[in-house]
Structure 1
Amino acid sequence: MQHLKNIKSGNPKTKEQYQLTKNFDVIWLYTEDGKNWYEEVNNFQDDTIKIVYDENNIIVAITKDASTLNPEGFSVVEVPDITANRRADDSGKWMFKDGAVVKRIYTADEQQQQAESQKAALLSEAESVIQPLERAVRLNMATDEERTRLEAWERYSVLVSRADTANPEWPQKPE
């Protein structure tokens, strides 16, 4: 099975390649060990999955047909077409690590970024509930139930805003 690493663009190496570049602006792609992508693409087997992954081993594309890929700046590996490999997708939540397709392992910084995004989403949701309830209170139109809901959502919003995204513990959403 093929494994072509760190594919980068490079200069044409033959007269024919030079003419193709001159006439058609062909970009030549080479692996870190000097293999020509356009020659190697024909060596992939038809019954395998081709995975493109980045320098952090994160899967960025998956296909059965390697000729559809533009792998510039990435690596391409061929894996068996089995259930475990078919589960992966190019959502950024999968990796090719130690010769296997695995769920992505997030760094502490990435986990904190995800928590920051979740915090922002939770606060936005809380605000969308709080605003009409505040308006009802301000206009003396709120029911007792609405006043109770407003207080619960405001408390929730404060607790979410205080959550430590390095080690988040999210409060329970109000009913």
Structure 2
Amino acid sequence: MQNIKNFKRYHPDYVHKKCLEHAVGAIFLISEDDQDWYECQKLFQPDTMKVEYETDGIIRSMGYDISAFCPDGCSIAEVSEWPKEAAPNRKWCFIDGEVVPRVYTADELREQATHKRDYRLEQAAKIIAPLQDAVDLDMAADTEKVALLAWKKYRVRLNRVDISTAPDIDWPKAPQIA
């Protein structure tokens, strides 16, 4: 099983003139052990799963066709086992020759929680705005007034969520009335 690490861009000393005519926009990559990307592709088996992973192990891409990869700033490895639930969605890592679930740092978990809270606040604001307009213009039905109050309370509870407890956050439930 191949595991060729840390590809970076380089300019080969010699490229055949005919190759350059057809290589407009070509990127030349070389591994940390001086293997040219185009040459080392022949080392990979056609029927194995390959992963493109970053220096911290996070899997950026996966597939069987090695020619579909462009590992600029990454490494490529063949894997013997691929968990059926795994996907190249930044939630999986290639560590010590295995595909494993990613373990997030406390900072990453807080950042994810912040994004989740902010997204929910945006969604609430989209619902609150027309309800508030109806109230402000004295055009609101009783159901709209009830809904507005419920959504405003929800938004206050979202703003009070303690992000520092991520991932163990007790998220408030959105109102079921609109």
**What TM-score range do you get, normalising by the shorter chain?**
0.7 to 0.9
Residue of structure 2 aligned with 1:147, choices 141, 145, 148: 145
Q: Does the residue aligned with 1:19 lie in a helix, a strand or coil?
A: coil
2:106 matched residue in structure 1: 108
Displacement after TM superposition at 1:49 (Å): 0.7
Change (3 A) 1:46 1:19: closer
Q: Which amino acid aligns with 1:53?
A: Y
1:75 aligns with 2:71: no
Structure-to-structure mapping, 1:1-150, within 5 angstroms: 1-12=1-12, 18-20=14-16, 24=20, 27-80=27-80, 82=81, 84=83, 86-150=84-148
Q: Which moved more, 1:18-27 or 1:2-11?
A: 18-27
Q: Does the residue aligned with 2:128 lie in a helix, a strand or coil?
A: helix
> Which 5+ residue runs of structure 1 have no aligned equivalent?
none
Q: Which amino acid aligns with 1:146?
A: E
Q: Does the residue aligned with 1:129 lie in a helix, a strand or coil?
A: helix
Distance 1:129 1:19 in 2: 60
Q: Which amino acid aligns with 2:137?
A: L
Distance 1:156 1:19 in 2: 63
> Which 5+ residue runs of structure 2 have no aligned equivalent?
none
1:134-153 CA-partner distances (Å, limit 9, x unpaired)? 11212222222221211111
TM-score, with normalisation over the residues of structure 2? 0.83
Distance 1:104 1:51 in 2: 15
Q: How many residues align?
A: 169
Distance 1:144 1:37 in 2: 67
2:172 matched residue in structure 1: 171
State whether residues 44 and 78 of structure 1, in contact with CA within 8 Å, keep that contact through their aligned partners in structure 2.
yes
Displacement after TM superposition at 1:51 (Å): 0.5
Instruction: Please identify runs of 4+ aligned residues in structure 1 that moved more than 6 A.
Output: none
Displacement after TM superposition at 1:23 (Å): 6.5
Cα-Cα RMSD:
2.2
Displacement after TM superposition at 1:22 (Å): 9.9
TM-score, with normalisation over the residues of structure 1? 0.85
Percentage of pairs with the same residue: 40
Distance 2:132 2:27 in 1: 60
State whether residues 7 and 29 of structure 2, in contact with CA within 8 Å, keep that contact through their aligned partners in structure 1.
yes
